Chain A
């Protein structure tokens, strides 16, 4: 196996020991201007991408044409099995992208490669609600000069495994923000590695991760900010916060900054905390029971990672999921 991306505290090699479940074509809902071609057309870069593409040849490439201003593009993962998709956003396009995964199975391979062309703008929402046993997901965005990406990842799956969120700021002036909100419960063992790399000059990247852990779940948040040599004027910031609700819950927040250039700004913050007592007291002082008040405080904590989700229906689904998970955890 070729070299794997670095995922501190996450046993990626072990997760990749078994071959991935066979890939099934993803569903796509998009404007007619968005073209679909069969085949992934992504040259694998490392052992992880080799493994993912080993799931089969059912991948699809979507191309959003230059200057596009049309309807959002929806990608629906298969009901069972792995799924691979490649999205190319041509220069100057503005598009909202959503990939949504609720599949079942074991050893699922989920791969989404996004290329954002020059001066293109992408709002990306990733919604994971997998019912699978285990999954390894890679989502990788590559940004050209002047491109911008505003990305929210809502992690509400039931599986164990690893999720890699990778942003490569290649072109000068590219900007990306990645917000991640994860709810881990039961006996889930989940690792998130969110990597933001500044290759181009004057690029800016922000990572904001929020995780809530209940039951006997274990959640690892790695944030890797990397400014490579030559990326003058780059900015790389990250915040990783984990809220632990149960005695047996385990959480790790690992901020990592790798700086190979002088003329840059970078920063990180990380915390592993319990419920905010001042917020809890405030809600209870209005008569709300401790259980209900706690659920609202937790929702508020995760909201900081999900604030960019504007679709009220999806937001309600996420809030309902939080409530259900916590009610079950209380029971």
Chain B
């Protein structure tokens, strides 16, 4: 079992040191085998948290720590964190011409293997093919340039394809459901559920209960003003769907 621990995390935007902290003391522990959902109104720090855990250089940790199996990740670059087992399914994946999807994913898979033991092309293509079938992706998406000209839904599906091929310990999924129609949502959920198991943990950021009907979380957290102000089980998401967030007040953390 692996553990991802967020301890008293305070975060600022690096280029805006004069602005207040976006995260103001977040505590959260995720173990493999668990699915956590993170909900809350827009602009309250959910994406910042995911990006900071992944190591986006835009953000600066001013206090606290991020630990993977007891080892701090703060001094590690984004690629090291990825190889250590973290994955971030992004809200706005970058488009890169000149690099095919298949070539990129193979490079990502090989980045986790020793240099003299790359995955055989046959095995890789077979697995890629199967995974794309699971996600109902047309074959030609393997040979298209990475996210180039993909629709919003295709990009999200492509994030899940990478997740399934890379098989991280922990997947942070940032609004993986936004802009998806109901069929695409079902397919994306199918992909995430296929990863569920004792070796996989996930933090799913979403605004909508709808996604959580398909991926039933073990824990639901609500973030407001840069803090987690409430934690519960799957039923919390259902009640929030009815009541909204406004009745929840920011916690008195650090007070």
B166 and A281 form a contact (CB under 8 A): no
A289 and B98 form a contact (CB under 8 A): no
A-B contact count (CB 8 A): 77
B253 contacts A by Cβ under 8 Å: no
**Which residue among A277, A282, A293 has the maximum number of chain B CB atoms within 10 Å of its CB?**
A282
B111 and A288 form a contact (CB under 8 A): yes
Q: How far is the CA of A296 from the CA of B57 in the complex (A)?
A: 19
* Chain B min CB distance to A181 (Å): 10
* Chain B min CB distance to A198 (Å): 29
Please count how many residues in chain A sit with their CB below 8 Å of the partner chain's CB atoms. Answer: 26
**B79's contact among A276, A293, A304, A319, by CB below 8 Å, is which?**
A293
**Chain A residues positioned under 8 Å from B112 (CB to CB):** 287
A325 contacts B by Cβ under 8 Å: no
**Chain A contact residues, majority secondary structure:** helix
Closest to B89 in A: A285
A279 and B79 form a contact (CB under 8 A): no
B96 and A282 form a contact (CB under 8 A): yes
B97 and A307 form a contact (CB under 8 A): yes
* Chain B min CB distance to A301 (Å): 8
A178 contacts B by Cβ under 8 Å: no
B98 and A296 form a contact (CB under 8 A): yes
Asked, given contacts A297-B96, A300-B99, whether A282 binds B90 with beta carbons under 8 Å apart, the answer is: yes
**B99's contact among A276, A285, A296, by CB below 8 Å, is which?**
A296
B107 and A288 form a contact (CB under 8 A): yes
Q: Among residues 40 to 67 in chain A, which have CB atoms less than 8 Å away from a CB atom of chain B?
A: none
**Chain B residues positioned under 8 Å from A302 (CB to CB):** 98
Q: Among residues 57 to 97 in chain B, which have CB atoms less than 8 Å away from a CB atom of chain A?
A: 57, 77-79, 82-83, 87-88, 90, 93-97
**Further 17 A-B residue pairs, CB within 8 A, beyond A278-B94, A286-B166, A287-B82:** A279-B95, A279-B96, A281-B56, A282-B90, A283-B104, A284-B78, A284-B82, A285-B79, A285-B87, A285-B88, A286-B107, A287-B79, A287-B111, A287-B166, A289-B111, A299-B98, A319-B98
Supply 23 A–B pairs (Cβ within 8 Å), ascending by A. A277-B57, A279-B96, A281-B56, A282-B93, A282-B94, A283-B104, A284-B79, A286-B87, A286-B111, A286-B162, A286-B166, A287-B108, A287-B111, A287-B112, A287-B166, A288-B79, A289-B111, A290-B77, A296-B96, A296-B99, A301-B97, A303-B98, A307-B97
Binding site for A on B (CB under 8 A): 54-57, 77-79, 82-83, 87-88, 90, 93-99, 104, 107-108, 111-112, 145, 162, 166
Closest 9 CB pairs of A and B: A303-B98, A287-B111, A282-B94, A287-B82, A286-B108, A299-B98, A300-B98, A284-B79, A303-B97
Binding site for B on A (CB under 8 A): 276-279, 281-290, 292-293, 296-297, 299-304, 307, 319
